[in-house]
Structure 1
């Protein structure tokens, strides 16, 4: 059928109006290997609901530290994205510097917005001076990943529940010819596993604004790491190498965030994968740090349409519908109640490997930021210290603790 000139003109007019009304926002997030598939899954529903909003994805951050460093640089150069995804322990510095905007004006205009829809531990970490500056997107906890085929070959019949049992399992597997029995995620972002060992003892790494690296619990954590690394003869792999090696069926046990579960499931070889609770230091952990990230509004646009579009995107990805894709495509747990209680009602029953982290939710504790503007530098000092344990350069944990305390003290606001 031929189209009339009038109909063509009308179509072109409508297209022009649509193009004129389209608002483009920019979004940046970390860990492409984890989240690319998540945002791809979300986008069709978002576009159907909001056809006039175009979301431009920026280059992904390598990790949370890279995300924070990038945002700090972009704030100076005036090139901030409209929405950024940041680690829970990296929000405070962006709020203090006025980079992350308060969401209270947007929340106040929402007639059906429920703050109670988000996990309390997550939402509290995005609230500063009584105002919400971020909406939680995902929550993770440390878990054990087990290659049941390698464990069976190595003579292990039951999953370990303590680090002593992990070390004993490594020794048994080594004796039975397993070359690489274990990887322990010391190099995960934000010194997360150090905090996991301290929270296992019910001790925070920061209390009342003061670092607790000089505490007996910190020394016990360093000693526990040394025992794990040496007892299991652990290889010094980067986190990317470790995930790839485990997925390829080359490592028997891996202790890492539940966040990587979806990626491991999609890429793993032909072996039986089982997850288990994070082992404890002689007994079950008393607490574990809440990993994960939150969406922050960092737009510098003065155009109300851009600001509203940024809020619409931010709200959608943390909503029940958006957050449900987090659980389906990764190993993270969505902190939104609508996602967990309605959309995902039967999901965890059908996905027991993802249920492991959910069962540990009563242990949830804060993932703590280090005081002052040098938080990233403190993270690096601790990272370097732990790596010295891994490679065998540091053998006296009391001496290492003293060195770390001295170096970190120089970076703290009060010296």
Structure 2
């Protein structure tokens, strides 16, 4: 029998394919697979999962397609519960943790670590653990923490007569500076306040809290932003709307990256991306989110890693990934890929991890310095929680586009929120007014 070169190639190819198939089977048998739902930015989840999988821990993390917002993540989980397609792990927004737990999803973290001392040794501080609490139990470990910051193009600020080294710390001066930047030319935009393409009305909540207010009364009995704090917040947006072009978040990022947008109020999660696009083109800097009230706070944004698996073996596998992602190495990867603040103190304190990184990237420190003023990210109770978010967002657009004055919009917005609160809450309000 003659052996041709072609037959040798075919035989070699078949051998390779057979070996590959066998290796995949062996891999599947040797590794426990866990499914994971997450949001954006996708790159940080992908980088953490890639490192975890490459470390060959015996567990393999499979990422689902990233979802645009935490509201989309929530809807995915609720649909999955009905259809029997619940993932093992979810990285859920801080404001939607309670919603998930209230629907019977999520395992308390005490199943995996027993004592407070153990948590401390692993780098989780009580404040960070508190971000994932529902009632008296923690259901999520802090993965990515953000605060709203004011990014600005120092070159445009200087051209407009401002001082980049002493950026304003109040809205009056910021809006005035934005007007001067806008007047530099027809192709220059003064300011963009991200309020629309943002989960859970986060930046509006930041305004309300910065004025010393809150979104709801204690016990979630009523909307609490109907007073001066809410009116002042809408007034800021109304005045910004005089200078701002109402555009999607993606377009605002493009404008700032192109050097044509002067001031960009958004999440600190945008830090890495903006830093990269500005490099060599213009000087990008960041300032704290203004807090007009002495007791003003801001809501911490970001996500926590939650375990949804119900079977013990899947829970154990899921715990391995969540522990890695929220641990020192996972947190270091996350910070360098995005711009969030880490939830693990070991990563920050180790010079081999993030200690030296922050010294070389001072832009990230603005978000870090705001953490002492950060609180939990509020979410309205009940099945209409996401609908309330949408209603508030639509009212905010009416203000930003200056279709109605703040006082008129505020009254309607508060009424609409009250109408969507759980019936028990509405009944309590009714009985109090009689």
TM-score normalised by L of structure 2: 0.85
Work out which of the residue numbers 252, 274, 277 in structure 1 matches 2:285. Answer: 274
Query: Does the C-alpha gap of structure 1 residues 299 and 317 become closer, same or farther in structure 2, counting only changes over 3 Å?
Result: same
Please say if 1:286 is aligned against 2:292: no
In structure 2, relative to structure 1, the CA distance for the partners of 1:285 and 1:16 (3 Å cut) is same
2:283 and 2:294 map into 1 onto residues whose CA distance is 25
Aligned to 1:252, what secondary structure does the other structure show? strand
Aligned length: 398
Change (3 A) 1:374 1:116: farther
Look up the SS of the partner of 1:177 in the other structure: coil
Q: Is the 8 A contact 1:198 1:218 kept in 2?
A: yes
User: Do the aligned residues in 2 keep the contact of 1:18 with 1:52 (CA within 8 Å)?
Assistant: no
User: 2:95 matched to 1:83?
Assistant: no
Paired residue secondary structure (1:151): helix
CA distance in 1, matches of 2:109, 2:379: 21
Give the distance between the partners of 1:100 and 1:370, measured in 2 at CA: 19
Q: Aligned pair 1:330/2:338, yes or no?
A: yes
Q: How does 1:363-382 map to 2 (within 5 A)?
A: 363-382=373-392
Once residues 364 and 78 of structure 1 are traced to their aligned partners in structure 2, the CA distance between those partners, rounded to angstroms, is: 36
Corresponding position: 1:215 with 2:227 = yes
1:391: which partner in 2? 401
- 1:160/1:12 Cα in 2 relative to 1: closer, same or farther (>3 Å)? closer
Alpha-carbon contact 1:35-1:330 (below 8 Å) kept: no
Give the SS at the match of 1:345: helix
- Counterpart CA distance in 1 for 2:377 and 2:390 is 16
Q: CA deviation at 1:51?
A: 4.0
Shift of 1:65: 1.2
Q: 2: distance between equivalents of 1:280 and 1:51?
A: 45
Contact 2:208–2:225 (8 Å) recurs in 1: no
- Provide the residue aligned with 2:142 in structure 1: 136
With structure 1 as the length reference, what TM-score do the two structures score?
0.89
Give, in whole Å, the separation in 2 of the partners of 1:15 and 1:195: 48
Compute the displacement of 1:76 (Å).
1.0
| CA contact 1:101–1:297 (8 Å) conserved in 2 | yes
CA distance in 1, matches of 2:122, 2:323: 14
CA distances 1:11-51 after superposition (whole Å, capped 9, x unpaired): 999986554222111111101xx241x23433454234434
Name the residue aligned to 2:130.
124
Q: 1:400 to 1:12 in 2, by over 3 A?
A: closer
User: Which of 145, 148, 156 is equivalent to 1:150?
Assistant: 156
* 1:314 lines up with 2:322 in the alignment: yes
Deviation per CA, 1:56-87, whole angstroms, max 9, x where unpaired?
11011111111111111111111111101111
Q: Secondary structure of the equivalent of 1:261?
A: helix
CA change 1:222–1:121 in 2 (3 A) is farther
What do the CA deviations read for 1:318-368 (whole angstroms, capped 9, x no partner)?
Answer: 011111222212110001111111232222111110011112222112211
- Rg larger for: 2
For the 8 Å contact 1:323–1:339, the answer to whether it is kept is yes
Distance in 2 (alpha carbons) for counterparts of 1:146 and 1:156: 11
- Report the RMSD for the aligned CA atoms in angstroms: 2.6
CA 1:280/1:106 → structure 2, altered by over 3 Å: closer, same or farther?
closer
User: Which of 258, 267, 274 does residue 264 from structure 1 map onto?
Assistant: 274
Among 37, 42, 54, the residue aligned to 2:48: 42
Deviation track 1:155-214 (CA, whole Å, cap 9, x = no partner) reads: 322422111011110222233326311111122221111111111122221231132132
- Please state if 1:69 is matched with 2:55: no
Deviation of 1:128 after TM superposition, in Å, equals 2.1
